[in-house]
Amino acid sequence: MAKQARAVQTWRSIVDAAASVFDDYGYERAAISEILRRAKVTKGALYFHFASKEAIAQAIMDEQTSTVEFAQEGSPLQSLVDGGQQFAFALRHNAMARAGTRLSIEGVFLGGPHPWGDWIDATARMLELGKERGEVLPHVDPMVSAKVIVASFTGIQLISEADSGRADLREQVAEMWRHLLPSIAHPGVIAHIKPEGRVDLAAQAREMAEQAEREAREIAAAAEAARGSAAAGPRNGGGGQRGGTGRGTRDQAEEEGADEPAGAGATAGGRI
């Protein structure tokens, strides 16, 4: 089990490091040597898990969809919108999402799996679920609409990257939904959909960071108070006790070790 855990950790280190390299340089300029340096693994370890740079890149493209979870309960269309906003947030804060998107846009694997296939399939499934629950208009073809949605999101995030480094991506994606929802959803449903998503992920992340910082300060203060109490204890009347039991005398130490085998007391006390 220990070897298996190490292997999983090595795989994770390689993929995470490669994501940061592909995000920085793109596929063509990404060097295996830089991936090795960031992952802190040997070349043998890398090639044990991946046959080529292309295989690493494909793993990253497969991984990027893990940054989004489409809730199966409640409104399928709202879940689809929320998933888009999750990925919009990930593009700002997650190298895996950015690397996977960059690799897809670069069209590195035109002869392999469709670079947007997982996103299109996931979107189509949510639209199909929306039809079953009466949210999506009957004439809508889920696969056709899924391709339009994924293509629109891709273009929106590229424009947002150029305009603001994706700082306004949440608002841009919300605007995209305001334009697309009337063509796929029942009018009565649209009024209940929040194009910006049900959760402000950026605000949530700030709150979590602030909470973690508060907890860290409290832990540090408690530790400092404990150190101060320990230092003040002997000065507040414990001096005599410290001399009698804390440090002891040579005679006492020898008396305490008198019943031990020869050398045992000296070894335990650190004397040779």
Residue 85 to residue 169: CA distance in whole angstroms: 9
pLDDT at 155: 95
pLDDT at 205: 56
Residue 60 to residue 38: CA distance in whole angstroms: 16
Residue 88 to residue 109: CA distance in whole angstroms: 23
pLDDT at 228: 79
Residue 121 to residue 266: CA distance in whole angstroms: 74
10-residue stretch averages of pLDDT, the chain, 272 residues long: 84 96 95 97 96 92 84 92 95 93 79 78 96 96 97 96 95 97 96 89 53 64 77 56 45 40 38 34
Residue 117 to residue 123: CA distance in whole angstroms: 10
Distances (CA, A) of 112 to 28, 49, 54, 58, 217: 17, 20, 10, 9, 51
Single pTM value for the model: 0.68
SS3 (DSSP) at 185: strand
- Residues pairing with 136 in the sheet: 185
142: which residues sit within 8 A by CB, 6+ positions away? 123, 124, 125, 127, 128, 131, 136
What architecture is domain 65-199?
Orthogonal Bundle (1.10)
Tokens 């101060």: give the residue.
228
Local structure of residue 66 (DSSP, 8 states): G
Cβ–Cβ under 8 Å, residues 74 and 155: no
CATH code assigned to 2-57: 1.10.10.60
Measured in whole angstroms, how far is the alpha carbon of residue 272 from the centre of its chain? Answer: 54
Q: Which of 177, 182, 23, 209 lies closest to 85, judged by CA?
A: 177
